[in-house]
């Protein structure tokens, strides 16, 4: 079963399952956008738009998701909040944007979801401007961490919802253009993390 199919089935119940447990780390994640001048922000894998109530209004937002059923719910949330955001059906592992387009790429619960997180990170790096930021909120295991439960459930859950075996450090090692600014625990001890990256001037 592909993720597009499973998220089509999950769309009607996604908010009921995810909104409440993620709310406080989501607020902390989006606090990172509450500073500075208006920016061009890309939100990758926006889902049903649970981020929207916490987004500051000064920026220009574009958002992607693979699953039309998730985006339909996001569109309703956009209307409810009278918010301006361009929504596109797109794959974060193959983004339909030219290089160096955005000041910020936000990746809340998407990098460790997709089958090839390295491709998704490389794509975020490609479309963000030199000096721009990539803000991540997701679950990772540490290099060498045994995490048998997470590695075991990954065998099943990766096909229907998310991977649980992604080692962020291994991804970063393969993206020499990205500099780590911050990496801090966000939820469930340090399973979920808030990670800030900056694209180096090349
Ligand atoms: C766990 S949800 C996260 C949604 C939202 N970011 C949030 O924080 O609630 C994962 C989302 O990623 C989307 N998705 C899965 N694979 C994708 C891909 N390759 N490209 C874009 N979106 C994808 C799913 O449709 C789903 O909406």
DSSP bridge pairs for 61: 41, 85
Q: Torsion angle, CA of 179/86/27/186, rounded to 10 degrees?
A: -40
At 7 the three-state DSSP class reads helix
Q: Which CATH superfamily is domain 3-199 in?
A: Vaccinia Virus protein VP39 (3.40.50.150)
Q: Which residues of the chain have pLDDT under 50?
A: none
Given a contact cutoff of 8 angstroms between Cβ atoms, the answer to whether 94 and 126 are in contact is no
pLDDT value at residue 50: 98
pLDDT value at residue 39: 97
Mutate to test the pocket of ligand 1, among 26, 41, 47 (most ligand atoms within 8 A of CB): 47
How far apart CA 118 and CA 112 sit, in angstroms, is 10
CB of 137 shorter than 6 A to ligand 1 = no
CB of 65 shorter than 6 A to ligand 1 = yes
CB of 15 shorter than 6 A to ligand 1 = no
Cite the DSSP H helix spans in 32-161.
68-80, 117-127, 148-157
pLDDT in tens, 69-88: 999 999 999 999 999 999 99
DSSP state of 202: -
How far apart CA 194 and CA 26 sit, in angstroms, is 9
pLDDT value at residue 1: 63
């Amino acid at each position: 079963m592909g993720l597009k199919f499973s998220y089509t089935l999950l769309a009607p119940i996604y908010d009921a399952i995810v909104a409440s447990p993620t709310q406080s780390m989501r607020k902390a994640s989006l606090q990172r956008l509450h500073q500075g001048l208006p920016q061009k922000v890309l939100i990758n894998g926006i889902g049903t738009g649970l981020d929207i109530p916490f987004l500051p209004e000064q920026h220009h937002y574009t958002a992607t998701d693979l699953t039309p059923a998730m985006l339909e719910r996001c569109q309703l949330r956009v209307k409810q909040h009278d918010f301006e955001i361009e929504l596109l059906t797109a794959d974060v592992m193959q983004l339909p944007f030219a290089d160096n387009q955005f000041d910020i790429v936000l990746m809340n619960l998407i990098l460790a979801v997709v089958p090839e997180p390295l491709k998704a990170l490389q794509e975020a790096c490609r479309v963000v401007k030199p000096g721009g930021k990539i803000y991540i909120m997701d679950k990772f295991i540490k290099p060498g961490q045994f995490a048998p439960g997470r590695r075991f459930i990954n065998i099943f859950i990766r096909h229907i919802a998310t991977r649980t075996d992604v080692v962020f450090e291994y991804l970063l090692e393969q993206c020499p253009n990205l500099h780590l600014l911050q990496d801090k625990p966000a939820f469930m001890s340090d399973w979920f993390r808030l990670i800030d990256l900056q694209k180096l001037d090349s």
